Amino acid sequence: MRVLVIGANGQIGSRLVHRLHDAGHNPVAMVRKEEQVERFNEYEIETVLADLEEDFSHAYQDIDAVVFTAGSGADTPKSQTKVIDRDGAMKAINESEKAGVDRFIMVSALKANRDLETWSEPMQHYYDAKAKADEHLRNSNLNYTVLMPGRLTNEEGTGKVELKERIDSKSITRDDVASVIVGLLDEEQSYGKSLELLQGETPIEQVIANLT
């Protein structure tokens, strides 16, 4: 499957493109800067130069699926969070529909689908941006999965997770988030679902196989 990874230069995205490649898929790493291309070319991973703040429709040529894992970052101004996490994601969804892409996985955030009262005040703009993008995806015609991981860590993945519609908050490694995305890509039982993802005790393959 030819998979466009939006946010490929990020910490989840960079892990994801390598896992997709190893799994036999054809990832296309979408990056904003020419100097970011070399890190993927070294592993013979295809890249496309494109910017969420501009026209990036050219990135969708011959694409079968899209994973949106771009994010504005913790130190980004609130206005930029809206530009990337909300507006950029919405544009990516719209472009997917225009291009005839069938599959879309959104990497969102734990609590993004919960009531406003559950969001801490400093993070309300972030969760609001994520929530609006997620809802736009739910209202699309795409076979979507909204994946909402908990607090992200850079520890080595354990290969064991929880993946449910509602889970108590805890952390998840970026390694395991990337592995779950690869497993969900072809899993029809995940279509049309919003799933929270946290570290757990069950192997990823089994968790995905148990989706209903």
Asked if 198 and 170 count as a contact pair (C-beta separation under 8 A), the reply is yes
CB atoms within 10 A of CB 60: 20
* Separation of alpha carbons 33 and 37, rounded Å: 7
> Residue with structure tokens 């969900």?
184
Catalytic residue among 60, 126, 127, 144: 126
Q: What is the 3-state secondary structure (H, E, C) of 41-63?
A: HCCCCEEEECCCCCCCHHHHCCC
CA atoms within 13 A on the CB side of 8: 31
User: Does the active-site annotation cover 43?
Assistant: no
* Separation of alpha carbons 120 and 148, rounded Å: 17
Please, where are the H alpha helices in the chain? 11-22, 38-41, 78-81, 89-99, 124-138, 174-184, 204-209
Give the angle subtended at the CA of 177 by the CAs of 176 and 183, to the nearest 5°: 85
Asked if 130 and 85 count as a contact pair (C-beta separation under 8 A), the reply is yes
Catalytic residues: 126
